[in-house]
Structure 1
Amino acid sequence: MGVGQQLAAAGGCDWDPEQSQLSDVARAAMITNLLTEDNLPSYHREAAGSFSQDGPWGAWVNRWTAEENRHGIAIRDYLVVTRGVDLVALEQARMEHVTNGFTSTDEERAMHNSEFLMSVAYVTFQELATRVSHRNTGKVCDEPIADRLLQRIAADENLHMIFYRNMCEAALELSPDQALDAVGAVVENFRMPGQGMPDFRRNGVLMAKHGIYDLRQHLEEVVMPNLRKWRIFERTDFSPVGEARRDQLAAFLEDLQTKVVKFEEQRDRLLAREAAERERMAS
């Protein structure tokens, strides 16, 4: 109902939740992913400032921006045509999020003396995290067009990740200690670019609760694949300072694994309580 119809202001009808084919979880994930893509002006500014606006880097940044822009266009077009979400609320959230922008904090900039290496390391993990989020969002949509759309977007994100991952690998060959320090700083202080958008915490909790992007996925599908690809814990070219930094990273990962187990135990208890409550209400 309502698919492809005009909104009330254009002679149609306003959005109603019953018009959406998406579950509450799928809507939350689609909105979070879309608003993350929408903040592209900030990402372009950060990338151009960290890399360059000239030569090969300038060409890459502009092409990357153009490709990322298509992701937001495609997701929004899908939601508009299918009336998947409240479009008025979506636009209000977009205006707020893009107006606030996204930038590195002073603390993040102070962590490392190479903004270039920090940026390359960050986007390597961020692109892979975005790929995981898009792919799993497509699955929970339980709608074939949304699933295919987000599969295609996830494939784009994976190609972007491979480029940045290769840059990090080259940096590790040229300056192992410095590159490791950047990688460690990013892993230990990682934050998704969508932080700061309206309802980010609520939607993020829903996404983690339902397996779209949770702590285990972050560790096992985002962090560890890159560290294994770079052979961080097998390399022999770090100085004593670099080896100490690697030990610090290893300790962080061990602690993160403990947090993964605790999170899953809490989630399982919560889901069990909710299932019991649904059963009680149905009886």
Structure 2
Amino acid sequence: MTIAPTSHGQAVWSDSRLLYALEEVVETELNRHLKVAKEWMPHEYVPWSDGRNFDGVMEGEAWAPEQSKVTDIGRTALIVNLLTEDNLPSYHHEIAQLFGRDGAWGTWVHRWTAEEGRHGIVMRDYLLTSRAVDPVALERFRMQHMSEGFESDNRHSMLHSVAYVAFQELATRISHRNTGHHSGDPVCDRMLSRIATDENLHMVFYRNLLKQAFVLAPDQTMSAVRDVVTGFRMPGHGIPGFERAAATMAIGGIYNLRIHHDDVLQPVLRFLKVLEIDGLGPEGRQAQEELGRYMDDLDAQARKFDERRAAIMARRAARQG
């Protein structure tokens, strides 16, 4: 199979060629993942003794907000996080189509899906058993969200998808971790910490693939990273009421511009030394420069957000005082 050269001599890799070239890395990373990933049981993280029947066919007690042990911000974030996990069938469809179902790629796709499936299981069991959220509203949100389906923003290339998940898995980890810390319930915090551990391992897998992609196709990979970072959206952006929920989570300190810049984008970019890579062609250098400017602009936006958030928190504290 030939690889077409670009105008400056650097090879242009097709998706199929990259999939083949990265297969060995996928196998290595898969084996590493299987050695470090620890088995855990969703049912062990659910306070089953707190459960009781809801109203309806079981003629139990209707849900009321005062039954919930979690904070208001925790409830909002838990719903967003769970509805994001609920779209796993669509995510599986997307990556299975892209990466394939055979060889090391296929083994990883199915393993990733199996691990992600536990997250939705344990979160829903916790939320319903502990009466953390309105079960009727939750189910209606789920039906609406899943009925609309999911289509990735990163259909440009296989490199765009690998770049996206390298950042997205870390973003999801941070969102779960911070939701647990702000939930007000130690049981919830422990559960989400366990989920966050999985998400971090998934991030490492994709981050290491991205590292090798920079070796094989530096210009293309740099362009993909630039596109993904500058256009990044969380996979749950289609959730009903997402913008309002995201604003609440931002002010509440669960996920916002500062966290996105400092705890998600910067760690991955720094690990891969993305802004320090040399030997790039014209397209790669341009993408690298644009990425650097974007990160500077994002940091400036985050500083402005920090100031607004501090003012909002000060007003709230004054009212409560």
Common topology (TM > 0.5): yes
Match status 1:4 vs 2:51: yes
Match of residue 82 from structure 1: 130
5+ residue gaps, structure 1, are none
Separation (CA, whole Å) in 1 of partners of 2:246 and 2:287: 31
One-letter code of the match for 1:141?
Answer: S
Alpha-carbon shift at residue 201 of structure 1 (Å) = 1.2
Separation (CA, whole Å) in 2 of partners of 1:13 and 1:212: 31
Secondary structure, aligned partner of 2:138: helix
1:3 to 1:199, Cα distance in 2 relative to 1, 3 A: farther
Match status 1:219 vs 2:266: no
Alpha-carbon shift at residue 29 of structure 1 (Å) = 0.7
Separation (CA, whole Å) in 1 of partners of 2:260 and 2:131: 31
Alpha-carbon shift at residue 274 of structure 1 (Å) = 2.3
One-letter code of the match for 2:197?
Answer: A
Secondary structure, aligned partner of 2:70: coil
Q: How does 1:1-283 map to 2 (within 5 A)?
A: 3-9=50-56, 10-105=58-153, 108-109=154-155, 112=156, 115-279=157-321
Residues 212-254 of structure 1, C-alpha deviations (whole Å, 9 max, x = no match): 1111110111101111111112222312331121111111111
Alpha-carbon shift at residue 273 of structure 1 (Å) = 2.1
Residues 60-104 of structure 1, C-alpha deviations (whole Å, 9 max, x = no match): 111111110100000111111111100111011011111112112
Separation (CA, whole Å) in 2 of partners of 1:248 and 1:49: 31
Alpha-carbon shift at residue 159 of structure 1 (Å) = 0.3
Q: Which moved more, 1:248-257 or 1:265-274?
A: 265-274
* Ranges of 4+ aligned residues in structure 1 off by more than 6 Å: none
Separation (CA, whole Å) in 2 of partners of 1:32 and 1:42: 17
Alpha-carbon shift at residue 276 of structure 1 (Å) = 2.4
Normalised TM-score (structure 2): 0.82
Separation (CA, whole Å) in 2 of partners of 1:124 and 1:11: 46
Residues 161-198 of structure 1, C-alpha deviations (whole Å, 9 max, x = no match): 00000110010001101011111100000000010111
Secondary structure, aligned partner of 2:274: coil
| Percent identity of equivalent pairs | 52
Q: Determine if contact 2:223/2:283 at 8 Å carries over to the other structure.
A: no
Separation (CA, whole Å) in 1 of partners of 2:320 and 2:183: 22
Separation (CA, whole Å) in 2 of partners of 1:24 and 1:143: 12
Q: Determine if contact 2:172/2:199 at 8 Å carries over to the other structure.
A: yes
Separation (CA, whole Å) in 2 of partners of 1:240 and 1:174: 17
Separation (CA, whole Å) in 2 of partners of 1:129 and 1:162: 12
RMSD across aligned C-alpha pairs, in angstroms? Answer: 1.3
Normalised TM-score (structure 1): 0.93
Residues 78-132 of structure 1, C-alpha deviations (whole Å, 9 max, x = no match): 1111111001110110111111121124xx53xx4xx210110001100000000
Separation (CA, whole Å) in 2 of partners of 1:18 and 1:31: 17
Q: How many residues align?
A: 272
Match of residue 45 from structure 2: none
One-letter code of the match for 1:156?
Answer: D
Secondary structure, aligned partner of 2:235: coil
Alpha-carbon shift at residue 48 of structure 1 (Å) = 1.0
